[in-house]
Amino acid sequence: MPHSDAAIHITGLTKTYAARGQQPAKTALTGIDLTVHRGEMFGLLGPNGAGKSTCINILAGLVRKTAGRVVVWGTDIDRDARTARASIGVVPQELNIDPFFTPRQALELQAGLYGVAKGERHTDQILAALGLTDKADAYARSLSGGMRRRLMVAKALVHAPPVLVLDEPTAGVDVELRQQLWAYVRDLNRSGTTVVLTTHYLEEAEALCDRIAIIANGRLVACDATASLIARLDGKALHLTLPQPLAEAPPSLAAYQPSIRGTRLTLRFRPSEVSVATVLAAVERAGIDFTDLATEEANLEDAFLQLTRAAA
């Protein structure tokens, strides 16, 4: 896809932090090539220290890259940093809120910093959308952790950026707030906002993201549709509930990596090679009775662990 048609287009992105004192130089990113399509919900995942935050900080203009090219909403960040920064809103992982500002004041100040004219600001609408209207004129220091997280999202939206980057937005927040936040983010995405998400809650990424990129040790190890990433594992489990515990699995089931826990027998297989019917037929031939069964597909966590371990 040409970069002019992409929300974010990254080629050869490298970042090396210079040596300091006794600390040697450290390369945080190496040759990252990545494109985020306009209008998609995109996941950027990786273990701690993989380079995700460095990548986001480069997009936001907070860290200078060592090499490579970064284009945000059609604007090269080297050629026109101001326009590129205006095209992106970043919700950082850390809560950086002035405790002596109210949410309304914080949003008005943020809008002013982005040069949004007073007549074009949507402070009240943003506060309402994020459930902050009742606290609009309370000092930020009096807000709960969840309310402060909402305020961080609100600040990132004051200039109506076409690209929204969420860096661990639900870290440490309760389930209800998490659901409210994702409902709002989904609405934003449906209205055309491109969303880039980093999270350690892999079930969130699996449920929300159209495509996912995985970074490990500063390198891009995978980038694909979420379902395709999971399908790479080609793994499935069949869980059988037995009427009574089984001492050991029959040798005829050895090909299915049997494991027994109480009255539960688990068999694993590759659906591309073997059907569930074939496995059940093998169970019947082995003379095993069962009272219930359930299948379990591989998930994003399985794919994530396999890809990041292989890159270690």
**In the chain, what are the domain boundaries?**
232-298
Q: Which of 255, 284, 285 is nearest to 270 (CA)?
A: 255
Query: Given this model, what pLDDT does residue 116 score?
Result: 92
Query: Given this model, what pLDDT does residue 2 score?
Result: 45
pLDDT tens sequence for the chain (312 residues): 445 689 999 999 999 999 888 889 999 999 999 999 999 999 999 998 899 999 999 999 999 999 999 999 999 999 999 999 999 999 988 877 888 899 999 999 999 999 999 999 999 999 998 889 999 999 988 988 888 888 999 999 999 999 999 998 877 777 887 888 888 899 999 999 999 999 888 989 999 999 999 999 999 999 999 999 988 888 899 999 999 999 999 999 999 999 999 999 999 998 889 999 999 999 999 999 999 999 998 889 888 888 888 776
Q: How far apart are CA 75 and CA 223, in angstroms?
A: 23
Backbone angles phi, psi at 190, to 5 degrees: -65, -30
Tokens describing residue 294 = 């359930």
Using an 8 Å Cβ cutoff, are 110 and 158 in contact?
yes
The model carries a pTM of: 0.82
Using an 8 Å Cβ cutoff, are 193 and 162 in contact?
yes
Query: Given this model, what pLDDT does residue 312 score?
Result: 65
Backbone angles phi, psi at 310, to 5 degrees: -65, -30
Tokens describing residue 182 = 């994702």
Please name the fold of domain 232-298: Alpha-Beta Plaits (3.30.70)
How far is C-alpha 218 from the chain's CA centre? 16
Tokens describing residue 177 = 């707030």
Using an 8 Å Cβ cutoff, are 219 and 277 in contact?
no
Query: Given this model, what pLDDT does residue 149 score?
Result: 86
Q: How far apart are CA 156 and CA 139, in angstroms?
A: 19
Query: Given this model, what pLDDT does residue 258 score?
Result: 95
Q: How far apart are CA 49 and CA 24, in angstroms?
A: 16
Q: Which of 92, 56, 88 is nearest to 75 (CA)?
A: 88
- Cβ neighbors of 51 (< 8 A, separation 6 or more) are 15, 28, 29, 32, 215, 217, 218
